[in-house]
Chain A
Amino acid sequence: MMKKSIIFLLVLAMVLSAFLAGCQPKEEPVDTPQDEVTETPTEGGGDEVAGPPSEPMGQIIIGNTTELSGDWVPYWTNIAADYDVYNFITGYGTVDMTFEGEYLINETVVKDYTVEEHEDGSKTYTFTINDGLVYSDGSPITAKDYVTSVLLWSSPQVQANGATATYGYDLLGYDAFNKGESKVFTGVRLLDEMTFSLTINPERLPYFYELPMVSVAPTKLSYWTDETVDILDDGEGCYFTDNFTTENYKDRWDVARYGTTEFPASGPYKIVSYDESAKTAVLEVNENYIGDYSGQKPKIKTIIYKKVTQETALDELATGGVDLLFGMASGDEINQGLDLVDQGGFSYTAYPRSGYGKIAFQCDHGPTQFVEVRQAIAHLLDRADFARAFTGGFGSVVNGPYGESMWFYQETKSELNNKVNHYPYSLEKAIELLEKGGWIYDANGNPYQEGIRYKKLDDGTLMPLIIEWASSEQNAVSDLLVVKLQENPDLAAAGIQINQTVMTFGDLINYLYRDDTQDPKYGVPTYGMFNLATNFSPIYDLRNTYTTDPEKIKAGYNTNFLIDEKLEQLAIDMVLTDPEDREGFKQKFVDFIVRWNELLPDLPLYSNIYHDFYNDKLQNYNMNSLIRISQALLYAYVTE
């Protein structure tokens, strides 16, 4: 009887609660700040209506289809959503990056700095930081907090706990320190309370992206250890006191990385709460933050980072469940978002992706080892049509390995467009290339008439023009490639056959890297083309991607297996450019792209135009694919 009563009461409570909730559609939670939605429809970044407020105000709920794990620091995890939160709570780096992807010394942090070149080719940056920098908890930031970052996140102690310990990878003495051969990190010096120095390993110099090597943000040592651990410098370099061991602090790290209110934030925001069941993080302005490199301070008081489902993300935006959806790439979603914008109350910002979807060729075996075959395939795929079909009209075609928002592409665009081959759709051109490449025989070695073409190799054997294609399962790009390329009648008319093999992504990667440690079959070159995607970071360094060093290739770099010393040298020349020589870098970039475009190790298929949709209350929101959401929102504000 008692059980029946309890069950009855439970159900009654549920039904009544649902009824109460359902019957009060206009009721909003009492203390949740609600922002008015402006009625004026705007497009492309939101019009500035009343100017930014003098003090932070309002709230923005960011919706992301990637869920948070609560593990904020990037050393144990790679989840992009957690990294977004990390960027909101981390700042005061010695080096900052502009919206265009250029690096500069952060003068909000650095009071003074000197650069000294040594005879051995190493280079020492000595930084004196400004007084008055503090964490969100009010504790002061000193030079020790900067050297803590380098030592802690390079240490064998955190590495033994599963962390990636590469923070000081470019600095002198990293190898010995990281491997535990030396307790002293010779390239890191703590000179006084506000001064420290970092010495770049001569093996890494010269390098166009030199500044990111000395980009260091503060880390509060006592938060990650306790008050008994210290960093000392006896004149040879920095080192931890002996009580800093994995055993002593493993448990501490496992808690600290998930920290919320107690996490000492150095960035524009601090974490107020994290709800694991709802996968939602609430951030509020760090009142102690004095700005980024330009002195910009946050104008939005509260930022909420929330998980949304892809299928209903735009419904969330329409109903006020979220205020901002960023990085939308699918044509259906974008059209749905544009409909919302047309209805009013919402805006959008569109920007090109820094990367592309592609066909990656392996250039050391089979027909794809011959450049004419790769070029012929490029002529047999209408890439503009493919990009239109795949992205729903919200994509573009690129002709080299670059993102359209990169500053060096922007400044060389017209020159590049004149110099590169756009590979327009042409059966005649494809046939001409194949004939030029020696694909002029049939299976019997007679002059080609119809069917599959053959080429006579140096040893006299005939190679058929059959390309084995590895594609991952449940892949929309693969499905479209079947229609637009594999089953294209002109492909057969040109004498080419493409055989598709569908496999798991893990299998595909093993074939791509030829990883015979997993299974000897992967070590045998089998597939000539793969459909993949690639993204570029602001540090544009493709030396390893096109390396000709056999050891590096064996280790999995240069998955195109393209051995071209000229291309490799051009990639090396680019990053060896003096950091001050922008013009020189741009010219080398053009030379590199032209060579790449001729060799065509990849065939870029589409580069998305990302769309960020947001409530009209969000103003001055300017996003691109080089920066992160934290940087875009630092300059934005909301109107109430």
Chain B
Amino acid sequence: MLKYTLKRFIYMVFVFAIMSVILFGLYSMIPGDPARAEVEGLRNVLKPDEYQRAYELARERLGLNDPTHIRYIKWAKGFLRGDFGTSIIHKQPVDEVIKTPLRVTIFINIFSVIAGLLITIPLGIYCAVKKGTRFDRTVQVLTIVGYSIPSFIFALLFIYFFAVKLGWFPVSGMKTPNFTGTTWEMIKDYAKHLALPLMVMTIGSLGGMTRYVRAAMIDALSMDCIRTARAKGLKERVVVLSHAWRNALLPIVTLLINWFMSIFYGSLIIERMFNLNGLGKLLIDSLFNQDYNVVMAIQLFYIVIALSGNLLADLSYGIVDPRVRVNK
């Protein structure tokens, strides 16, 4: 197990390094000049020679005069020291720029993922057990509809009904500006602001997982061991939750782990519609602004999360199903 983990870790480092080279190379090829973008406002203020000097200083400071491979080596050295560079838009170290959006994203996603799992797993199991009933068919239709409708449609609908028409929740934001009150009042204020985005995120994620769980459970319930368990006279509850669920877990464990890892991923649509300062929005804004130090840091962070998720999923197979060995 340890040997396997070590091998996978070395593989992850290799993939990470390759990806960093590819991403850095790609972003270097995109047309655009961050130094000029920085000093453009001075063009009509300064004399041409002064403007040129300001431009050259900016290029020097941003390290744009070096060839791409030298810039990559400099960037990689900094990265290994924990220095992800400076954001050309925010004029701050990248880790400072990312800190708050990452916190916001994790904070929102934790609730959304937990709520999603609490709904989808019991619902999927119940639909599998009650396969073919009116309830099952209704859930199948609703999950297909939910799965097919983009989350921004849900967001707009929810904002219209719950915020504009009913006035139950604010349209956007994380808390009331300039709010003062007791801790309990602040928690209520947070809850009031986050209720709509959480509802949209949760509903948007129900369809897929519910159907996966249902399908896995239907397969598991048709296994011989389940028939044996029933023949032994075990209670149906024990058959479903203990025997069938254990067998159904293997195909959906990857999904479950990826779902948990998605806590770190930003959601562009939700963050934009509800005006939440999260990682997804920061990534898109940085891409538009050609702020590639920020983009690189976020994307490499996502790569680490994805690689770690895969490793965790592989390791978890062995835990969920002892027949699977992961020490080779």
Give me the interface of A with B, judged by CB distance under 8 Å: 7, 10-11, 14-15, 17-18, 20-22, 25, 29-32, 59, 61, 67, 69, 71, 76-79, 159, 162, 164, 166, 169, 175, 254, 272-273, 275-280, 282, 302, 304, 306-309, 311-312, 315-316, 318-319, 321, 504, 506-507, 509-510, 513, 515, 518-519, 541, 544-545, 549, 551-552, 555-557
Point out the residues of chain B lying under 8 angstroms from A506, CB to CB: 30-33, 290
Contact, CB under 8 Å: B46 / A276 = no
Chain B residues with Cβ below 8 Å from A318 are 164
**Residues 268-279 of chain B, each 1 if its beta carbon lies under 8 Å from chain A, else 0:** 000011110100
B14-22, B123-131, B183-191 - interface stretch = B183-191
Given contacts A312-B273, A504-B32, whether A14 and B191 have CB atoms under 8 Å apart is yes
Q: Contact: B277 with A304, CB < 8 Å?
A: no
Determine the chain A residues whose CB is within 8 A of the CB of B162 once the complex forms: 22
Q: B177 touches which one: A304, A515, A552 (CB < 8 A)?
A: A304
In the docked arrangement, what's the CA distance between A21 and B111, Å? 16
* In the complex, B104 has a CB within 8 A of chain A: yes
**How far apart are the CA atoms of A14 and B43 in the complex, in Å?**
53
8 contacting pairs across A/B (C-beta < 8 A): A20-B188, A21-B189, A21-B191, A22-B195, A276-B277, A306-B173, A309-B274, A315-B163
Chain A residues with CB under 8 A of B57: 159
Determine if A555 and B91 form an interchain contact, defined as CB atoms under 8 angstroms apart. Answer: no
Report whether A282 and B91 are in contact in the complex, using a CB–CB cutoff of 8 Å: no
Q: Is the Cβ of B191 less than 8 Å from the Cβ of A32? A: no
Q: Which residues of A contact B41 (CB under 8 A)?
A: 78, 164
| B42 touching A166, Cβ below 8 Å | yes
Which residues of the partner chain A approach B52 to less than 8 Å between Cβ atoms? 555
| Pairwise interchain contact B275-A510, C-beta atoms closer than 8 A | no
From A162, A515, A541, residue with most partner B Cβ within 10 Å: A162
Q: How far does the alpha carbon of A302 sit from the alpha carbon of B180 in the complex, in Å?
A: 14
A303 to B185, CA, bound (A): 22
CA distance A20 to B194 in the complex (A): 13
Residues of A within 8 A of B91 (CB): 71, 76-77, 162
Q: Are B181 and A31 in contact (CB under 8 A)?
A: yes
> Cβ of A515: which chain B residues have Cβ within 8 Å of it?
33, 36
Contact of B172 among A79, A308, A552 (CB under 8 A): A308
Q: Determine if A32 and B198 form an interchain contact, defined as CB atoms under 8 angstroms apart.
A: no
A255 CA to B326 CA, complexed, in Å: 50
A312-B273, A545-B44 known; A21-B32 Cβ under 8 A:
no
B138-165 CB contacts (< 8 Å) to partner A? 156, 159-160, 162-164
Closest to B88 in A: A162
Question: Given A162-B61, A319-B167, A555-B52, is A277 in contact with B185 using a C-beta cutoff of 8 Å?
Answer: no
Q: Which 8 A-B residue pairs are closest in the complex by CB-CB distance?
A: A17-B191, A506-B32, A21-B192, A18-B195, A555-B48, A31-B180, A507-B31, A506-B31
CB distance from B69 to the nearest CB of A (A): 18
Given contacts A29-B189, A76-B91, A279-B277, contact A321 B31 (CB under 8 A): no
A22→B168 CA distance, assembly (Å): 5
Q: Which residues of B contact A308 (CB under 8 A)?
A: 172, 275
Q: Does B7 contact A (CB under 8 A)?
A: no
Q: How far is the CB of B272 from chain A (nearest CB, A)?
A: 6
Bound complex: CA A67 to CA B97 (Å): 14
Roughly how many angstroms separate A280 CA and B191 CA in the complex, as a whole number? 18
Q: How close is A513's CB to chain B, nearest CB, in angstroms?
A: 8
Closest beta carbon of chain B to A425's beta carbon, Å? 33
In the complex, chain A residues whose CB is within 8 Å of the CB of B133 = none
A29 to B170 Cα, complex, angstroms: 12
Partner of A280, one of B115, B170, B177: B177
Tell me if A14 and B198 are in contact (CB < 8 A).
yes
Quick one: which of B288-317 are within 8 Å of A by CB? 290
A73 to chain B, nearest CB (A): 11
B171 is an interface residue with CB less than 8 A from chain A: yes
Instruction: Verify A29–B179 contact, CB threshold 8 A.
Output: yes
B residues less than 8 Å from A545 (CB atoms): 44
Distance between Cα atoms of A169 and B46 in the complex (Å): 8
- A29–B181 CB distance below 8 A: yes
- Cβ-closest chain B residue relative to A506: B32
CA distance A159 to B45 in the complex (A): 16
Indicate whether A277 sits within 8 Å of B156 (C-beta atoms), given known contacts A319-B167, A515-B33.
Answer: no
Any A CB within 8 A of the CB of B114: yes
**B8: which A residues are within 8 A, CB to CB?**
none
A78 to chain B: which residues have CB within 8 Å?
41
**Which of B31, B41, B176, B182 has most A Cβ within 10 Å?**
B31
Residues in B with CB closer than 8 Å to A20 are 188, 191
State whether B273 touches A311 (Cβ < 8 A).
yes
Q: Looking across the interface, which residue of chain B has its beta carbon closest to that of A559?
A: B43
B169 interface residue per 8 A CB criterion:
yes
Q: Are B178 and A273 in contact (CB under 8 A)?
A: yes
| Residue contact A321 to B103, C-beta cutoff 8 Å | no
Most buried by A among B54, B178, B290: B178
Distance in angstroms from A499 CB to nearest chain B CB is 20
Q: How near does chain B come to A523, taking the closest CB pair, in angstroms? A: 14
Given contacts A278-B173, A504-B30, A506-B290, contact A166 B45 (CB under 8 A): yes
Rounded to whole angstroms, the CA-CA distance of A278 and B172 in the bound complex is: 10
Are A164 and B54 closer than 8 Å at their CB atoms? Answer: yes
